[in-house]
Structure 1
Amino acid sequence: MQMILFKMNRQYYLISAADVEEVVETIQITKVPLASKWIKGLINLRGTVVTIIGLAELLDIPSTENNMNILVMKNEEARKGLLIEEVVEVLDIKDDDIQLSLEQESKHIKGVVAFPDKIANIVDVTDSIFN
């Protein structure tokens, strides 16, 4: 399966490419008063208003101010953006490469993949952001 490898706060994460419609550079985000702490605000993406979610806040990890990319997620007709630090590359990951842990740190971490030079957590936030 194809997965997008991205970096946040000097750690690596993977997300299914099937859930991502596109990757865009961070643009002006309009804050939303009284929104949940993980809602960063709204953007105008080619005439469509998209809610932007801070993935660091959703995963409860330290956030960074160097957020350069937004992963535009899709679920049927709904679209939401995940604010991340930086997309590294798109990789083909085999099911055998995924290691599952019995004690997951977060309900959003579904496993890990070990590479020769790094380890990446597999993130699945689709249910949380669209429900």
Structure 2
Amino acid sequence: MQMILFKMNQQHYLIAAGTVEEVVDTVQITKVPLAPLWVKGLINLRGTVLTVISLAQLVGLPESKTNRNIMIMKKDDERRGLLIDEVIEVVDVDPDDIQLSEDQAALYFTGVVDLGEQTIADVIDVNDKIF
């Protein structure tokens, strides 16, 4: 299965490529009053208004200061943006290589993958929370 390897707070994470429509550079985000802390605001992406979510805050990590990319997530006809540090590459991961991790919150983290070259990445699944 193809997964997108990305960085957030100097750590590596994976997310299923099938849930990502595209990756764009960070643009100006308009804040939304009274929104949850993890909702950073709204962006205008080629004439479509999208909600942008801080992935770090959503999963309980410290907020990063170097958010350079927004991953546009899709589910049916809905789209949301996830604010991340940077996308590194698309990798092929054998589902059998995903090891369950007992020390991660099962709400967002579904396992851990050893990608070699001293890169270990947590697998994240947030679709049910953001849509």
Superposition TM-score, scaled by structure 2 size: 0.96
Q: How far apart are 1:43 and its partner, in Å?
A: 0.1
Q: CA deviation at 1:103?
A: 4.5
> How many equivalent pairs are there?
130
Give yes or no for the alignment of 1:83 onto 2:83: yes
Partner of 1:118: 119
Distance verdict in 2 for CA 1:102–1:9, change over 3 Å: closer
Q: Secondary structure of the equivalent of 1:23? A: strand
| Aligned AA (1:85) | D
Q: Which moved more, 1:112-121 or 1:47-56?
A: 112-121
CA shift, 1:115, in A, is: 2.1
Cα shift at 1:129? 0.3
Q: Higher mean Cα deviation, 53-62 or 112-121? A: 112-121
Distance in 1, matches of 2:55 and 2:106, equals: 13
1:1-131 equivalences in 2 (<5 Å): 1-116=1-116, 117-130=118-131
Moved over 4 A (4+): none
Aligned-pair RMSD on alpha carbons?
0.9
| Identity among equivalent pairs (%) | 59
Contact 1:108–1:124 (8 Å) recurs in 2: yes
TM-score (ref. length: structure 1) = 0.96
State the distance in 2 between where 1:66 and 1:112 align.
24
- Structure 1 residues not aligned, in runs of 5+: none
